[in-house]
A and B are shown apart, each in its own frame.
Chain A
Amino acid sequence: MKLKYNFAIQEVTDFWAAVPVGKDARRYRGVMSLNESAKDMMEFLREDITEEQLVQKMLETYEVPEEQLRHDVAELIQKLREAEVLDE
């Protein structure tokens, strides 16, 4: 799976915001707000990656229990599916 659009991701205050840019800015007008780990997952999702690979990548970056990470990854993927911004 990978992101359907090219997102610009920027730290705003205590959160990050992602919004499509380039030609995609006209195709999708939504704005997503993300916490730090969700922001990192979005970065990995710019390239085609499986859910399992994404969990492994995140495990390399974050020292949190695997259980917790799997939950966070699944949650973000669900959010991206609902926003219809994921190509699977």
Chain B
Amino acid sequence: MFTGTYLFANIPVRISSIYEEVQLMCADYRIELEPEVEVATTLEEIAEEDKLSDEQRKLEGLPPCKFPNSYLETLTVYRKIAEAFLEHDVLLMHGSVVAVDGEAYMFTALSGTGKSTHVRLWRKLFGERAVMVNDDKPLVEIGGDRAIAYGTPWDGKHHLSNNIAVPLKAIVVLRRGLENEIHPLTTQDAFPTLLQQSFRTEDPMVTMHTMQLLGKLSKQVSLYELHCNMDPEAAMVAYKGMNND
């Protein structure tokens, strides 16, 4: 058994794990504080994670893949953190978050649409002005006046994240397109994508809380839809479209 306490989205979490991988992965976030949230895993839960991961890959049209238990445990741990954090009005979302000049932009879409690819264009365009918050599964604190995006070590296959907190300015639903074009979205139009890309469980109360938080979040950020190709110009079109005031 391995244990350690880490600070995610300003909440101290003690993780007790069967394998060491999750502890090593979280090393940058380690602190010495009394935990507010405690998570531990069992082999049964890790086996369940394996099934879920297969189902998810099937949905996305990917072939099944056998992951090692130590990796699956990192997913189980994050799932448990996400569930506990909902009570603190912190939501785990699936998206790539980049900060420019101290304001964060989240790009969200189904896997394979090109979130990471688009955000790479932002990093090229802005150089050091662009800082990655998290390329895959950031946490978003929704309880206060402004939504805050937090880096976490669950940061996608290229491991792009920083242990930082940045006010979230906008959420962009990404679609592939031939031309680059961005326009505002109503909450109602953005909602199905936002919900599909947010953590929830099958529990009705948890689902309702997630939906309520997304309603609050949509009042704290601007929502856009971006049709884009992979030309460097896409990043400039997106940035200008969200900073034209």
Contacts and interface: CB of A to CB of B under 8 A. Distances in A.
Contact of A21 (B55, B191, B204, B215): B204
Interface stretch (B78-86, B148-156, B175-183, B206-214): B206-214
B195 to A, nearest CB: 5
B187 A25 contact: no
A12 B192 contact: no
Overall SS of chain B's interface: helix
Contacts of B207: 8, 10, 19, 21, 25
Contacts, number: 58
A13 B215 CA distance: 5
A18 to B, nearest CB: 9
Given A21-B203, A31-B195, A33-B188, A8 B208 contact: yes
Contact of A12 (B55, B187, B196): B187
B202 interface: yes
A30 to B, nearest CB: 8
Overall SS of chain A's interface: loop
Interface residues of B, number: 18
User: Which of B187, B195, B202 has the most C-beta atoms of chain A within 10 angstroms of its own C-beta?
Assistant: B202
A71 interface: no
Contact of A17 (B203, B204, B211, B219): B211
Contacts of A15: 187-188, 191
Interface of A: 6, 8-15, 17, 19, 21-23, 25-26, 29-31, 33
